[in-house]
Amino acid sequence: MESQANKLAFNDGWQYAPAPESTDHIRIDEKYDLFIGGEFVAPEEGRYFETINPANEKTLSSVALANEADIDRAVKAARKAYNGPWSKMKASERGKYIFRIARMLQERAREFATIETLDGGKPIRESRDIDIPLAAAHFFYYAGWADKLAYAFPGRDTRSLGVAAQIIPWNFPLLMASWKIAPALACGNTVVLKPAETTPLTAMKLAELIQDAGLPPGVVNIVTGAGATGATMVNHPDVDKIAFTGSTSVGRIIRKSLAGTNKKYTLELGGKAANVIFEDAAIDQAVEGIINGIFFNQGHVCCAGSRLLVQESVADEVIDKLRERMETLIIGDPMDKNTDIGAINSAEQLETIQSYLKIGQDEGAEMYQSSCDVPGSGYWCRPTIFTGVSQSNRIVQEEIFGPVLAIQTFRTLEEGLTKANNTPYGLSGGVWTDKGAKIFKMTQSMRAGVIWANTFNKFDPTSPFGGYKESGVGREGGLHGLDAYVKVEV
Partner 1 sequence: MSVIALPIASALPDLKRITPVDEVGVNERVARFQTRSIKKESKIEALKTVLSMIDLTTLEGQDTPGKVRQLCQKAIHLHDSLPDLPHVAAVCVYPTMVGIARAALGDRGINVASVATAFPSGMSSRKIKLEETRTAVEEGADEIDMVISRGAFLQGDYHFVFDEIAAVKEACGDAHLKVILETGELGTLDHVRRASVLAMHAGADFIKTSTGKIQPAATMPVTFVMLKAIKDFYQETGRMVGMKPAGGISAAKLAVHYLVMLRETLGNAWMTPEWFRFGASSLANDVLMQLQKQATGVYQSADYFSKD
Residue of 445, 454, 464, 487 interacting with partner 1 (CB under 8 A): 454
Residue 5 binds partner 1, judged by CB under 8 A: yes
Q: Is 302 a catalytic residue?
A: yes
Show contacts with partner 1 in window 101-160 (CB under 8 A): 125, 129
> Considering the complex, what minimum distance in angstroms separates the CB of residue 317 from partner 1?
7
Residue with smaller CB distance to partner 1, 125 or 300? 125
Instruction: Say which of 302, 303, 372, 381 is annotated catalytic.
Output: 302
Rounded CA-CA distance 72/83 in Å is 16
Residue 439 binds partner 1, judged by CB under 8 A: no
Residue of 44, 72, 147, 280 interacting with partner 1 (CB under 8 A): 280
Residue with smaller CB distance to partner 1, 18 or 364? 18
Residue with smaller CB distance to partner 1, 288 or 415? 288
Show contacts with partner 1 in window 330-349 (CB under 8 A): 337-338
Q: Is 68 a catalytic residue?
A: no
Task: Tell me which stretch binds partner 1 (CB under 8 A): 104-112, 233-241, 251-259, 285-293.
Answer: 285-293
> Considering the complex, what minimum distance in angstroms separates the CB of residue 15 from partner 1?
6
Residue of 284, 312, 348, 351 interacting with partner 1 (CB under 8 A): 284
Query: Binders of partner 1: how many residues, by CB under 8 A?
Result: 35
Task: Tell me which stretch binds partner 1 (CB under 8 A): 61-69, 74-82, 108-116, 282-290.
Answer: 282-290
Residue 246 binds partner 1, judged by CB under 8 A: no
Residue 9 binds partner 1, judged by CB under 8 A: yes
Residue with smaller CB distance to partner 1, 17 or 437? 17
**Sign of the torsion angle spanned by Cα atoms 371, 372, 376, 377:** negative
Q: Which residues of the chain form contacts with partner 1 (CB under 8 A)?
A: 4-6, 8-10, 12-19, 125, 129, 279-286, 288-289, 313-314, 317, 328, 337-338, 434, 454-455
Among all residues, which ones are annotated catalytic?
268, 302
